[in-house]
Amino acid sequence: MNQSRRHLLFGAAQGVGLLLLAGCEKVFNRLHANQKFLSLLESAEAVNQRVQRWVTRKNKLVQEFTEQEISRYFKPNGQPTSKYDGLH
Amino acid sequence: MGYTDAAKNNWRPWRLEITGLVKQPARFSLAELRSMPSRTQITRHDCVEGWSAIAKWKGVPLTEIMQRVQPAPEAQYVVFYCMDTDGSGVHYYESIDFRDASHPQTILAYEMNDRALPVDHGAPLRLRIETQLGYKHAKYIRKIEFVRSYENIAGGKGGYWQDHGYAWYAGI
Protein backbone atom coordinates (compact mmCIF):
# COMPACT_ATOMS: atom_id res chain seq x y z
CA MET A 1 0.00 0.00 0.00
CA ASN A 2 1.56 3.33 -0.97
CA GLN A 3 1.88 6.31 1.41
CA SER A 4 -0.85 8.47 -0.14
CA ARG A 5 -3.42 5.66 0.05
CA ARG A 6 -2.34 4.92 3.63
CA HIS A 7 -2.79 8.58 4.57
CA LEU A 8 -6.16 8.66 2.86
CA LEU A 9 -7.37 5.59 4.72
CA PHE A 10 -6.05 6.88 8.04
CA GLY A 11 -7.74 10.24 7.50
CA ALA A 12 -11.00 8.51 6.58
CA ALA A 13 -10.80 6.35 9.69
CA GLN A 14 -10.28 9.45 11.84
CA GLY A 15 -13.25 11.14 10.21
CA VAL A 16 -15.50 8.14 10.78
CA GLY A 17 -14.30 7.96 14.38
CA LEU A 18 -15.18 11.59 14.98
CA LEU A 19 -18.60 11.11 13.43
CA LEU A 20 -19.22 8.12 15.66
CA LEU A 21 -18.18 10.08 18.74
CA ALA A 22 -20.46 12.97 17.81
CA GLY A 23 -23.28 10.52 17.28
CA CYS A 24 -22.56 8.84 20.61
CA GLU A 25 -22.78 12.17 22.39
CA LYS A 26 -26.18 12.86 20.83
CA VAL A 27 -27.39 9.40 21.81
CA PHE A 28 -26.03 9.86 25.32
CA ASN A 29 -27.72 13.24 25.71
CA ARG A 30 -31.04 11.82 24.53
CA LEU A 31 -30.79 8.88 26.91
CA HIS A 32 -29.82 11.13 29.79
CA ALA A 33 -32.96 13.20 29.21
CA ASN A 34 -35.16 10.10 29.02
CA GLN A 35 -36.86 9.36 32.35
CA LYS A 36 -37.64 5.75 31.41
CA PHE A 37 -33.99 5.08 30.67
CA LEU A 38 -32.92 6.70 33.94
CA SER A 39 -35.47 4.58 35.82
CA LEU A 40 -34.03 1.51 34.12
CA LEU A 41 -30.54 2.44 35.29
CA GLU A 42 -31.80 2.96 38.84
CA SER A 43 -33.48 -0.44 38.83
CA ALA A 44 -30.24 -1.96 37.55
CA GLU A 45 -28.48 -0.45 40.54
CA ALA A 46 -30.96 -2.17 42.87
CA VAL A 47 -30.40 -5.50 41.08
CA ASN A 48 -26.65 -5.01 41.34
CA GLN A 49 -26.93 -4.43 45.05
CA ARG A 50 -29.12 -7.48 45.63
CA VAL A 51 -26.94 -9.76 43.55
CA GLN A 52 -23.75 -8.61 45.20
CA ARG A 53 -25.21 -9.08 48.66
CA TRP A 54 -26.62 -12.46 47.73
CA VAL A 55 -23.26 -13.79 46.54
CA THR A 56 -21.26 -12.13 49.32
CA ARG A 57 -21.49 -13.58 52.79
CA LYS A 58 -22.60 -10.96 55.32
CA ASN A 59 -19.64 -9.49 57.20
CA LYS A 60 -17.17 -11.17 54.88
CA LEU A 61 -13.94 -9.23 55.28
CA VAL A 62 -12.39 -7.53 52.29
CA GLN A 63 -8.75 -8.26 51.53
CA GLU A 64 -6.27 -6.72 53.93
CA PHE A 65 -2.65 -6.04 53.06
CA THR A 66 0.76 -5.94 54.70
CA GLU A 67 2.71 -2.89 55.80
CA GLN A 68 5.04 -3.43 52.84
CA GLU A 69 2.15 -3.00 50.46
CA ILE A 70 1.14 0.43 51.71
CA SER A 71 1.14 2.87 48.80
CA ARG A 72 3.86 5.49 48.74
CA TYR A 73 1.38 8.00 47.43
CA PHE A 74 -2.31 8.18 48.23
CA LYS A 75 -4.09 10.78 46.21
CA PRO A 76 -5.95 13.17 48.53
CA ASN A 77 -8.97 13.17 46.30
CA GLY A 78 -11.66 15.73 46.55
CA GLN A 79 -12.59 19.13 45.31
CA PRO A 80 -9.50 21.34 45.12
CA THR A 81 -11.73 24.27 45.98
CA SER A 82 -13.41 22.58 48.92
CA LYS A 83 -13.68 24.69 51.99
CA TYR A 84 -14.48 23.86 55.54
CA ASP A 85 -17.62 25.49 56.76
CA GLY A 86 -16.72 25.67 60.42
CA LEU A 87 -17.85 23.54 63.25
CA HIS A 88 -21.28 23.06 64.67
CA MET B 1 -14.31 28.30 66.08
CA GLY B 2 -13.52 27.44 62.48
CA TYR B 3 -11.99 24.33 61.04
CA THR B 4 -8.47 25.69 60.80
CA ASP B 5 -8.48 26.95 64.40
CA ALA B 6 -9.79 23.60 65.62
CA ALA B 7 -7.04 21.82 63.70
CA LYS B 8 -4.42 24.06 65.29
CA ASN B 9 -5.88 23.15 68.70
CA ASN B 10 -5.53 19.43 68.02
CA TRP B 11 -9.27 19.17 67.48
CA ARG B 12 -10.08 19.87 71.13
CA PRO B 13 -13.17 21.98 70.27
CA TRP B 14 -14.50 19.45 67.73
CA ARG B 15 -17.32 17.11 68.65
CA LEU B 16 -18.90 14.27 66.69
CA GLU B 17 -22.64 14.66 67.09
CA ILE B 18 -24.77 11.50 66.96
CA THR B 19 -28.43 12.23 66.46
CA GLY B 20 -31.64 11.11 64.80
CA LEU B 21 -33.51 7.88 65.56
CA VAL B 22 -31.40 6.86 68.54
CA LYS B 23 -32.24 6.28 72.20
CA GLN B 24 -29.07 7.98 73.46
CA PRO B 25 -27.98 10.96 71.34
CA ALA B 26 -24.37 11.83 72.05
CA ARG B 27 -21.48 14.17 71.35
CA PHE B 28 -18.04 12.64 71.40
CA SER B 29 -14.71 14.42 71.46
CA LEU B 30 -11.80 13.06 69.49
CA ALA B 31 -10.18 11.97 72.74
CA GLU B 32 -13.32 10.02 73.67
CA LEU B 33 -13.40 8.32 70.28
CA ARG B 34 -9.74 7.39 70.65
CA SER B 35 -10.45 5.85 74.06
CA MET B 36 -13.04 3.46 72.58
CA PRO B 37 -12.10 0.01 71.28
CA SER B 38 -10.35 0.48 67.96
CA ARG B 39 -9.67 -1.44 64.81
CA THR B 40 -6.60 -1.15 62.58
CA GLN B 41 -6.78 -2.35 59.01
CA ILE B 42 -4.61 -2.06 55.91
CA THR B 43 -6.98 -1.89 53.00
CA ARG B 44 -7.21 -0.72 49.44
CA HIS B 45 -9.11 2.39 48.51
CA ASP B 46 -10.73 2.06 45.09
CA CYS B 47 -11.76 5.32 43.51
CA VAL B 48 -14.51 5.53 40.91
CA GLU B 49 -11.97 7.44 38.81
CA GLY B 50 -10.03 4.20 38.36
CA TRP B 51 -7.08 4.57 40.71
CA SER B 52 -6.41 2.65 43.91
CA ALA B 53 -4.14 3.09 46.91
CA ILE B 54 -3.41 1.05 50.01
CA ALA B 55 -3.19 2.63 53.44
CA LYS B 56 -3.36 1.71 57.09
CA TRP B 57 -6.36 3.02 58.96
CA LYS B 58 -7.10 3.08 62.64
CA GLY B 59 -10.41 4.09 64.07
CA VAL B 60 -13.45 3.19 66.08
CA PRO B 61 -15.77 0.59 64.55
CA LEU B 62 -19.13 2.13 63.76
CA THR B 63 -20.73 -0.74 65.70
CA GLU B 64 -19.11 0.66 68.87
CA ILE B 65 -20.93 3.95 68.31
CA MET B 66 -24.17 2.13 67.51
CA GLN B 67 -23.98 0.14 70.74
CA ARG B 68 -23.67 3.36 72.70
CA VAL B 69 -26.42 5.37 71.01
CA GLN B 70 -28.83 2.46 70.39
CA PRO B 71 -30.53 3.12 67.05
CA ALA B 72 -34.32 2.82 67.10
CA PRO B 73 -35.89 -0.17 65.29
CA GLU B 74 -37.28 2.10 62.56
CA ALA B 75 -33.83 3.49 61.67
CA GLN B 76 -32.76 2.17 58.27
CA TYR B 77 -29.81 4.34 57.24
CA VAL B 78 -26.81 6.10 58.72
CA VAL B 79 -26.13 9.55 57.30
CA PHE B 80 -22.73 11.24 57.57
CA TYR B 81 -22.56 15.03 57.41
CA CYS B 82 -19.27 16.60 56.38
CA MET B 83 -17.67 19.91 57.19
CA ASP B 84 -16.27 20.47 53.72
CA THR B 85 -18.14 22.00 50.84
CA ASP B 86 -17.88 22.04 47.08
CA GLY B 87 -17.07 25.13 45.07
CA SER B 88 -20.67 26.33 45.40
CA GLY B 89 -20.75 26.01 49.18
CA VAL B 90 -22.82 22.80 49.21
CA HIS B 91 -21.85 20.46 52.02
CA TYR B 92 -20.86 16.91 51.26
CA TYR B 93 -22.79 14.13 52.88
CA GLU B 94 -23.14 10.36 52.44
CA SER B 95 -25.27 7.49 53.71
CA ILE B 96 -25.07 3.74 54.19
CA ASP B 97 -27.51 1.08 55.31
CA PHE B 98 -27.29 -1.01 58.44
CA ARG B 99 -25.75 -4.00 56.76
CA ASP B 100 -22.70 -1.94 55.82
CA ALA B 101 -22.83 0.03 59.06
CA SER B 102 -22.53 -3.25 60.97
CA HIS B 103 -19.70 -4.60 58.85
CA PRO B 104 -16.60 -5.21 61.02
CA GLN B 105 -14.38 -3.19 58.67
CA THR B 106 -16.63 -0.12 58.70
CA ILE B 107 -14.78 2.28 60.94
CA LEU B 108 -14.55 5.98 61.74
CA ALA B 109 -10.86 6.51 61.09
CA TYR B 110 -8.78 9.05 62.98
CA GLU B 111 -5.36 7.72 62.00
CA MET B 112 -3.78 7.04 58.65
CA ASN B 113 -0.47 5.20 58.31
CA ASP B 114 0.25 5.50 62.05
CA ARG B 115 -0.26 9.26 62.13
CA ALA B 116 -3.18 11.47 62.97
CA LEU B 117 -5.51 11.62 59.99
CA PRO B 118 -4.18 14.41 57.75
CA VAL B 119 -6.33 17.36 56.72
CA ASP B 120 -6.05 16.28 53.08
CA HIS B 121 -7.60 12.95 53.96
CA GLY B 122 -10.49 14.19 56.03
CA ALA B 123 -9.26 15.17 59.50
CA PRO B 124 -10.28 14.73 62.18
CA LEU B 125 -12.52 11.82 61.22
CA ARG B 126 -13.49 10.00 58.08
CA LEU B 127 -15.54 6.97 57.20
CA ARG B 128 -13.94 3.79 55.95
CA ILE B 129 -16.50 1.48 54.36
CA GLU B 130 -14.32 -1.13 52.74
CA THR B 131 -17.06 -2.86 50.76
CA GLN B 132 -17.76 0.20 48.65
CA LEU B 133 -16.04 2.62 46.28
CA GLY B 134 -14.12 5.62 47.52
CA TYR B 135 -16.79 8.26 47.04
CA LYS B 136 -18.80 6.61 49.82
CA HIS B 137 -15.99 7.21 52.34
CA ALA B 138 -17.19 10.51 53.80
CA LYS B 139 -14.48 12.83 55.07
CA TYR B 140 -14.43 15.70 57.59
CA ILE B 141 -17.34 14.16 59.47
CA ARG B 142 -19.09 16.40 61.98
CA LYS B 143 -22.40 14.62 62.52
CA ILE B 144 -23.96 11.18 62.13
CA GLU B 145 -27.71 10.84 61.91
CA PHE B 146 -29.76 7.65 62.02
CA VAL B 147 -32.79 7.97 59.78
CA ARG B 148 -35.67 5.97 58.34
CA SER B 149 -35.16 7.48 54.90
CA TYR B 150 -32.71 9.86 53.26
CA GLU B 151 -35.30 11.15 50.79
CA ASN B 152 -35.79 14.42 52.68
CA ILE B 153 -32.09 15.17 53.04
CA ALA B 154 -30.53 17.59 50.53
CA GLY B 155 -31.23 16.25 47.01
CA GLY B 156 -32.88 13.13 48.39
CA LYS B 157 -30.58 10.57 46.77
CA GLY B 158 -28.55 9.66 49.84
CA GLY B 159 -25.35 11.57 49.24
CA TYR B 160 -23.76 14.56 47.56
CA TRP B 161 -22.46 12.49 44.65
CA GLN B 162 -25.73 10.62 44.36
CA ASP B 163 -27.57 13.95 44.14
CA HIS B 164 -25.30 14.58 41.17
CA GLY B 165 -26.05 11.30 39.41
CA TYR B 166 -23.83 8.70 41.05
CA ALA B 167 -25.25 5.36 42.19
CA TRP B 168 -26.20 5.21 45.87
CA TYR B 169 -24.85 1.67 46.17
CA ALA B 170 -21.22 1.43 45.13
CA GLY B 171 -20.41 -2.11 46.19
CA ILE B 172 -17.11 -3.69 45.15
How large a percentage of chain A has pLDDT more than 70? 83
First to last CA, chain B: 38
Residue of B nearest to A52 (CA): B171
pLDDT-derived band of residue A71, with 50, 70 and 90 as boundaries? very high
Contact at CB, A87 and B2, closer than 8 angstroms: yes
CA distances B7 to A71, A83, B4, B144, Å, are 25, 14, 5, 20
- Assembly ipTM: 0.90
Residues of A in contact with B83 (CB under 8 A): 84-87
How large a percentage of chain B has pLDDT more than 70? 100
Spatial distance between the Cα atoms of B80 and B77, rounded to a whole number of angstroms? 10
Higher-confidence position of A24 and B63: B63
Neighbours of B40 (CB within 10 A): 13
CA distances B76 to A57, A72, B2, B103, Å, are 20, 38, 32, 15
Q: Mean pLDDT across chain B, nearest whole number? A: 95
pLDDT at A77: 74
**Best of B15, B41, B83 to disrupt the A interface by mutation (most A CBs within 10 Å)?**
B83
Q: Mean pLDDT across chain A, nearest whole number? A: 78
pLDDT at A45: 78
Up-side HSE of residue B118: CA atoms within 13 Å toward CB? Answer: 11
* pTM for the predicted model, two decimal places: 0.83
Interface of A with B in 15-74 (CB under 8 A): 45-46, 48-49, 52-53, 56, 58-59, 61-67, 69-71, 73-74
- CA A20 to chain B, closest CA, distance in angstroms equals 24
DSSP letters for B83-103? EEE-TTSPEEEEEEEHHHHTS
Residue of B nearest to A38 (CA): B165
Spatial distance between the Cα atoms of B165 and B49, rounded to a whole number of angstroms? 15
Q: At B80, give phi and psi (nearest 5°).
A: -110, 125
Contact B139, B75 (CB under 8 A): no
DSSP character for A67?
G
Contact at CB, A64 and B43, closer than 8 angstroms: yes
Up-side HSE of residue A45: CA atoms within 13 Å toward CB? Answer: 15
Contact at CB, A84 and B53, closer than 8 angstroms: no
CA distances A15 to A21, B19, B49, Å, are 10, 58, 29
- CA B76 to chain A, closest CA, distance in angstroms equals 16
Summarised one tens digit per residue, pLDDT across range B44-57 is 999 998 999 999 99
Packing angle between helix A35-55 and helix A3-32, nearest 10 degrees? 90
Interface A-B, measured as beta-carbon pairs within 8 A, has a size of: 107
pLDDT-derived band of residue A78, with 50, 70 and 90 as boundaries? low
CA distances B61 to A41, A47, B67, B100, B163, Å, are 33, 28, 10, 11, 27
Contact at CB, A70 and B118, closer than 8 angstroms: no
